[in-house]
Amino acid sequence: MASDVLFYIFAGFAIMCAVSMVYHKNPLYSAISLVGVFIALSCLYVTLAAPFIAVVQILIYAGAIMVLVVFVIMLLNLDEDRRENRLGYLYAVGGGLGLILLAQTFFIFYAVMRAPQQAVNTAETAGKTLSIGQAMYTEYLLPVEIVGVMLLMAIIGGVVMSRRLNQEQIETVVEAEMNLRNQQEEKDDFRIAF
């Protein structure tokens, strides 16, 4: 009974934060509301006895990914974005898709309530930290490394997008950096000191 109450509390908090994320015009407020959704999902994972996934949800999504999103929002200065009326039809499309999602949610709720209850096998290690770590660094090592490279590319892309320099300015910055490096090498060269 207590697990049902906790589920409804955390699910309601996640829904409120998701609505707040969509409602706010300021993208920074939307990002903070998305952090609230991630925290509520992490609490739901704790109630499902998956502590590793709950911690990863907080560390990776609410921590690292949202820091990157906030940096991109701040670098691109999106708070002065004007709303255009020519995309008004998207409200109807979004409402229709929202009704379809609501119907799917009720169908899943109905299917879960009609499913037979089975006892939990505590001998299985699915969701435990040791089994996830062994799978990540043995069987799934290549996809983990590919995700790491993709995140690095996203960071580099964010930096490149934030630097709005034309070609002459870029060449000037590169020349200044090269001159600084050459001066540093000459200063460190012991033969010039004599």
Q: pLDDT tens digits for 53-76? A: 888 888 888 888 888 787 777 777
Burial class (CB in 10 A: 0-12, 13-18, 19+), 141: exposed
pLDDT over 50 at 194, yes or no: no
Q: How far apart are CA 24 and CA 120, in angstroms?
A: 42
CATH T-level assignment (fold) for domain 1-80: Four Helix Bundle (Hemerythrin (Met), subunit A) (1.20.120)
Summarize pLDDT for 131-168 with one digit per residue, the tens.
Answer: 777 888 888 888 888 888 888 888 887 777 766 656 66
Q: Are 157 and 74 in contact (CB under 8 A)?
A: no
The per-residue pLDDT for 10 is 92
pLDDT over 70 at 13, yes or no: yes
